[in-house]
Amino acid sequence: PGNAYVVQSMARHQLANGQVDEAVATVEAALKRDPDNYESLMFYGELLQGTGRIEPAGKQFARAAEVDPSNVQPLYRLAVLYE
């Protein structure tokens, strides 16, 4: 799936069923197709953060900040991540 909303819905469903690795793979596949998708980058960062993968999560938030420099949300997430 290419639509960020569809990808997030699929990944959330996978998470709800305890399929963490599958959820990560779903979002990673979407980002391979569209590496500059802000919504997918943010969702991936949140997913990684929620599974305790702090450094990779930070990289996704930093990339989201590059993709949309006028949006402060990724910077906020980075600040919270490393406080």
Average pLDDT, whole number, for the chain?
A: 93
Q: What is the DSSP letter of 72?
A: -
Residue 7 near residue 32, CB atoms below 8 Å: no
Residues 6 or more apart in contact with residue 23 via CB below 8 angstroms: 10, 11, 12, 14, 15, 47
What is the distance between the alpha carbons of residues 22 and 24, in angstroms, rounded to a whole number? 5
pLDDT at 2 over 70: no
The predicted pLDDT at position 29 comes to 92
pTM value is 0.90
What would the pLDDT profile of 45-74 be if each residue is shown by its tens digit?
Answer: 999 999 999 999 999 999 999 999 999 999
27, with CB counted inside 10 A (0-12, 13-18, 19+), is buried
What pLDDT band is residue 83 in, cutting at 50, 70 and 90? confident
